[in-house]
Amino acid sequence: MKLGTFTRGTGPHLTFIHGFTQTKESWIPVIDALPKQFAFDLIDAPGHGESSNGQRTLSETGGDVAESMTPGVLIGYSMGARIALHTALQHPEKVTALVLVSGTAGIDSVEERASRRSSDESLANRISEIGVSAFIDEWLSNPMFQGLSREFADITSRCSNTAEGLGDSLRFAGTGTQEPLWDHLHKLNIPVLLIVGENDQKFTELGNRMSDLLPDCELHVIKGVGHTCHLEDINAFTVILQRWLLSIQGDR
């Protein structure tokens, strides 16, 4: 499935995938702060923005992203990080380097995955019951987003999503549907950058675990921020990203 995309600039390609309830526009404050020598490709994940069909598994979405992107560096946040990881493992010919922001390789426990699927089903039903706008208010009140200012919350774009699309995204590509990929991380023989927020203890621990299993990995913890670390401290995020991109130039 061809996904909704937006491209700005020319040069080596950096492809970005957003998190749940966001759209590709959520990355604009980040690319605005990056040097202009890159081509920035922003992708709408299934069920979001212009990619209205949310009935795509993570494996299928990995193929969709590969079809929609130009070979280069792939960058994903949260849900987008899980999608990016699938893409890199399934289509190594498309991904020259990988950036996972607040990412995970999945839930190990079968029981915990089942519990998460049940929780995501309840969330999907909640969206249908109260509507997207009210759900976005509830979603952003989650403590994991407490460091995200309204300026960068991109509420208007989030509310442009549909209840059906978001619900399908949860049902088909939620964390509970993801087969754990921990045993496959050693196959990623490309540079990988992991970025997490200091205040996001769960994903900091996951980042540490992933970094131990990836052959060519850097892990950076941004101080004083949480799950949406790339939007809570755009300057710190872009400095880390730029330095890493410069450091791997000879590898690509």
Under the banding of pLDDT at 50, 70 and 90, the label for residue 183 is very high
pLDDT tens for 163-174 read: 999 999 999 999
Q: Is 76 exposed, middle or buried (0-12, 13-18, 19+ CB in 10 A)?
A: buried
Largest CA distance in the chain: 52
* CATH code for the domain in which residue 191 is found: 3.40.50.1820
Q: What confidence tens digit (pLDDT) does each residue in 31-54 have?
A: 999 999 999 999 999 999 999 889
- Phi/psi of residue 143, nearest 5 degrees: -55, -25
Three-class secondary structure of residue 185 per DSSP: helix
Q: What is the pLDDT of residue 210?
A: 99
CA torsion sign for 163, 107, 207, 68 is negative
243 vs 9, 229, 231, 237, 239, CA distance in Å? 20, 17, 18, 10, 6
Q: What range does the domain containing 79 cover?
A: 5-251
Number of domains in the chain: 1
**pLDDT computed for residue 248 by the predictor:** 94
Tens digits of residue pLDDT in 141-168: 999 999 999 899 999 999 999 999 999 9
pTM for this prediction:
0.97
Give yes or no for residue 251 having a pLDDT over 60.
no
